[in-house]
Amino acid sequence: MANRKKRGRDLHGLFVLNKPLGMSSNQALQRVKYLFNAKKAGHTGTLDPLATGVLVVCFGRATKAAEHIVASSKTYYVRAKLGQKTTTGDAEGELIAESEVTAEQHLQLKSVAAQFVGEIEQIPPMFSALKHDGQPLYKLAREGIEIEREARKVSIYAIKSIVQDSLENTFDMVVDCSKGTYMRTLVEDMGEALGCGAHIHILQRSRVGGFEKSMTIDELEQLQQTPGTDIARLLQPLEMAFAEYPKLIVKEGLLQLLSAGKELSLMATNDSPFVAIYNTNGIFRGLGHVNNDGSVKFQNFSAHLMQI
């Protein structure tokens, strides 16, 4: 049987969604794809149904840059409950342990939080989208199966804006972190360090790389239904996917050599694995890979990126 042609528009670019509470990342993606009537779309990093906030949706050729957005640093707003541990590490799980939270533990919170800033090791939670033999861990967890997980190194760049409510035994914080950091694990580990346990009540991702300003599905639907409005104008340019990489200005003659597959010594260091390459007029021309010796080579999909 011949493959059916995918329906929808050929759109290329990035849309920043404010994912709603209670909806999976894939459900949110499918809704956005439908509203844009797009042929091809993908998201850039799973958010739990409990979590809200920034979810970058890639359309068309922009999906080739998804891995770079996933690798970006992130910022989360967290509200956590002290004195209670749950099966899932969040408010949706069953209560498995409860203890009194002392005044001393409240006083120790900020100093304990400071201990988690820097490069740390985390054991991924069972209630996560990580896979074991093709099965997401959260599905195994729901069946009562627990798999041994290896600790992973992640970086917490800052834990700030800590506000405590000693009457409710809650605290709010804002966390800047690297890719792969689990907020529920951070909160549980902080609770263990305090000696009273803790779990997440509210989780909102407020930034992914250079993406902060986002739009809700309701707002998108209202615009989509407004006569004379093409919501495709909301799509952001692909270069935003590389906002955290150094910007490299390259003259036209050298750009032609890069396009021909040449490696050029354009960098003094290799502190970053990639650079965003622009011409002298400030126009984005593609992504460059930085080799160990500091030389730069165009990524193999740069030609496609420049067509967006």
- What are the residue numbers of the active site? 48
Other CB atoms within a 10 A radius of the CB of residue 229 amount to: 12
| Contact indicator for 190, 116 with CB cutoff of 8 Å | yes
Buried b (16+ CB within 10 A) or exposed e, 122-139: bebbbbbebeeeeeebee
Give the H/E segment covering residue 172: strand 170-177
Q: What DSSP state is assigned to residue 231?
A: G
Q: What is the Cα–Cα distance from 164 to 135, expressed in whole angstroms?
A: 38
Q: What is the Cα–Cα distance from 174 to 177, expressed in whole angstroms?
A: 10
Note the Cα 86 to chain centre separation in Å. 24
